[in-house]
Structure 1
Amino acid sequence: MTPAHEHTPHHGGSHGRHQEHDDSGQAEILDLDAEVLAEHIASITAWLPLKVEPRQVVDLGCGTGAGTFALLEGFPEAHVTAVDASVGHLRLLREKACARGVSDRVRTVQADLDTSRWPDLGTPDLVWASASMHHMAHPDRALRSVYELLAPGGLFAVVELDGLPRFLPADAPEGRPGLEDRVHRATDGFHAEHVPHRGADWGPMLAAAGFTVEAERTITVDIEGDIEGDIESDRGEAIGRYAHRSLQRLRGAAAPALGPEDLAALDELLDTDSPHSILRRDDLAVRTERTVWAARRT
């Protein structure tokens, strides 16, 4: 369900009506998000207030598998049913599962979660939805479907983002400081129309669907791309590609609302042959926030 001009990290998002199902550019961003934010995803799975280790898990809007593989690693006895609307993303997830030797613990299901009738996903102990619920056209209905899906006492983990990550320092780029914030503001109208539930407080909606919200946590992410004496070059390179692909995706939605000087500066950042390309910068970081709600079916 990810719109063509927006990415959803991470974590892996839910992908349906607005998405081109075999979008390799979106898959690359999801993979970069998983690589750069792997430690934060693992910390969320470790934080969940589970009464027993889950054996059956459903990952709703799994994307290319960031959450799926974190769940498999965090819960060694678990089997994960990974659900997404994108055939291409599910194919990539299966390929990764084979490469990691965990294909026997993963089942993929292609489904549009905005339909009123979901496929048989079993009776999971844990349902995970990372950056996917805000894409639902009918979130109240989807929450009720999750409630009915879960085993009694089961846990629903909703991980959501307030906005897309920032990468540049405030005084960048030279000559157009603050450009990145203006690019994000220029997409506000697009996102308000296509993903109106992004940034919502899911606590009241979970309670209305019958869940008991047991815990809520906001995680601040601030990952430097280049820390002298304490940096692996692979991480800095991944953050550069993550920043480039993310801003490239935003350009289409931002362009109509950007002034010509800002648009020219953005295009220079995105030009991989330019000496001012974002890929050549050594001052990048990943800054974002994610909120987690842990809700139980009583």
Structure 2
Amino acid sequence: MPAHTHDHIDWADRLAHLRAADALDAVAMATAARRLVAALPPRPTIVDLGCGAGGMSTHFARELAALSGGTVVLVDATPALLEEAERTVADKHAAQGRGPVQVHAILGDLADTGLPHTLPPADLVWASHVVHHLADQQAAVGTVAAVAKPGGLVALAEGGLDFRCLPWDLGVGRPGLENRMLAAQAEWFIGMREGIDSAVPMPYGWPVALDRAGLTEVDSFGALVHHPSPGPDSLADYVVNRIDRLREFAGDQFTAEDRTTVDALLDPDGPHFVGARRDLYLLGAKTIHCGRRP
């Protein structure tokens, strides 16, 4: 039975896609983890809020193991994701056979203003693409900041550049389908936000939100994800799942012609099946916004 979420998305059902995304993001996010951990004191505590399948925390654990060790705390409101994250981080850390890194999993909801009282004070609080799913994003940023100890670092991965994976002309339908798919995704996102109970607008950017939460030294940096064609073996399945999700969530935004094109791309027995293409790629960027709790 799916866990309750504020955005009405069954995140447990998206576990396979989250795993695939973590694998494709691994090089870029490992670099980001190294940069963040380098700014922490010895044996730090890192809290991953909305940990998903645990991809980022595996990088944190690896960085801590290479240094003096530390603690990684996984937090998610979806039990299936939390279990997967705990297993993934523990398995990958055990395989390394290095360093005293403790891993703890805590079921918790970032929308709960009392959450910081249930978590250990953190040297680094990480929250990736979770705050924008909550009704009051500014309040959620304040909750994230409250998990950090004084002097602790807060890092939000939000925004960035839309990921692209398709050539302009697919040989079926009108060229430029991906541009229209991304526009449909944007409309779906607006509808998702409007469908959240008691949603509060946040008409400013994430650095301003960090500043309003009382953080100092606010800054941002990017993490480039780039897999040139033909890409790794897992890329084709990822693209198929990505297009299928867009058809499900944003299909009513497509024209009849584009719906026909998407159906052709997803037909494994058809001549235009996107999973059989050798010209797929993945290019995009994540933006990480940081600040320190005074």
Which range, TM-score by smaller chain? 0.7 to 0.9
- The C-alpha deviation readout for 1:98-143, integer Å capped at 9, x for no partner, is 4335497221111221123216111111101112222221122122
Unaligned runs of 5+ in 2: 96-100, 195-200
| 8 Å Cα contact 2:79-2:107 kept in structure 1 | yes
Cα displacement (A) at 1:54: 5.1
**Matched residues in 1 for 2:165 and 2:203: separation?**
19
- The answer as to whether partners of 1:186 and 1:258 remain within 8 angstroms in 2 is yes
Query: In the alignment, which residue of structure 1 is the partner of 2:198?
Result: none
2:143 to 142, 145, 152: 145
**Contact kept in structure 1, 2:210 and 2:218, CA below 8 Å:** no
Say whether 1:122 aligns with 2:132.
no
Displacement after TM superposition at 1:254 (Å): 2.2
Going from structure 1 to structure 2, the CA distance change for 1:225 and 1:236 (only over 3 Å counts) comes to farther
User: Could you say which residue in structure 2 is the equivalent of 1:230?
Assistant: none
Where does residue 192 of structure 1 map in the other structure? 190
Q: Which amino acid aligns with 1:116?
A: T
Aligned to 2:75: 83
In the alignment, structure 1 residue 263 sits paired with structure 2 residue 259: yes
Q: 1:21 to 1:137 in 2, by over 3 A?
A: same
For the residue of structure 2 that corresponds to 1:237, the secondary structure is coil
Q: Which residue of 2 aligns with 1:59?
A: 48
Distance in 1 between the 2:202 and 2:189 partners? 8
CA contact (8 A) 1:163 1:199 kept: no
Other-structure match for 2:58: 69
**Structure 1 match to 2:223:** 219
Match of 1:39 among 27, 33, 39: 27
- Write out aligned runs for 1:1-298 (5 A): 16-21=5-10, 23-24=12-13, 26-48=14-36, 50-53=39-42, 55-76=44-65, 77-102=69-94, 105-118=102-115, 120-162=118-160, 164-195=162-193, 201-226=205-230, 236-298=232-294
Secondary structure in structure 2 of the residue aligned to 1:294: strand
* 1:200 to partner: Cα distance: 6.2
- Following the alignment from structure 1 to structure 2, what is the Cα–Cα distance between the partners of residues 81 and 51? 15
Deviation at 1:58, TM superposition (A): 0.3
CA 173–207 in structure 1, closer or farther in 2 if over 3 Å, else same = farther
Q: Secondary structure of 1:253's partner?
A: helix
Structure 1 length-normalised TM: 0.84
**Offset of 1:212 from its aligned partner?**
0.9
Q: Secondary structure at the match of 1:63?
A: coil
Which whole-Å deviations, capped at 9, do the CAs of 1:55-102 have from their partners, x for residues lacking one?
211001100101111111122212111111111111212232343354
- CA displacement, residues 16-71 of structure 1 (integer Å, 9 cap, x when unaligned): 323555633x1111111111110100111122361424521100110010111111
Asked if the contact 1:16–1:113 (Cα under 8 Å) also holds between the matched residues in 2, the reply is no
Question: Is residue 21–residue 87 contact of structure 1 (8 Å, CA) maintained in 2?
Answer: no
| Contact 2:206 2:289 (8 Å CA) reproduced | yes
Shift of 1:176: 2.5
Q: Is the 8 A contact 1:144 1:209 kept in 2?
A: yes
Counterparts of 1:289 and 1:51, CA distance in 2:
24
Judged with a 3 Å threshold, the aligned counterparts in structure 2 of structure 1 residues 200 and 268 are, in CA distance, closer, same or farther, namely farther
Structure 1 unmatched runs, 5+: 1-14, 227-234
Query: How far apart, CA to CA, are the structure 2 residues paired with 1:21 and 1:142?
Result: 20
Relative to structure 1, the CA distance from residue 255 to residue 167 in structure 2 (aligned partners, 3 Å threshold; closer, same or farther) is same
Does the residue aligned with 1:152 lie in a helix, a strand or coil?
strand
Equivalent pair of 1:21/1:88 in contact (CA under 8 Å):
no
Q: What do the CA deviations read for 1:127-178 (whole angstroms, capped 9, x no partner)?
A: 0111222222112212222222211111011112336422101222444211
Deviates more, 1:101-110 or 1:246-255: 101-110
Residues 173, 75 of structure 1: alpha-carbon distance in 2 compared, 3 angstrom cutoff? farther
TM, length-normalised to structure 2: 0.85
Q: Secondary structure of the residue that 2:118 maps to in structure 1? A: coil
1:163–1:198 Cα contact (<8 Å) kept = no
User: What is the aligned-residue RMSD (CA, Å)?
Assistant: 2.5
Percent identity over the alignment is 28
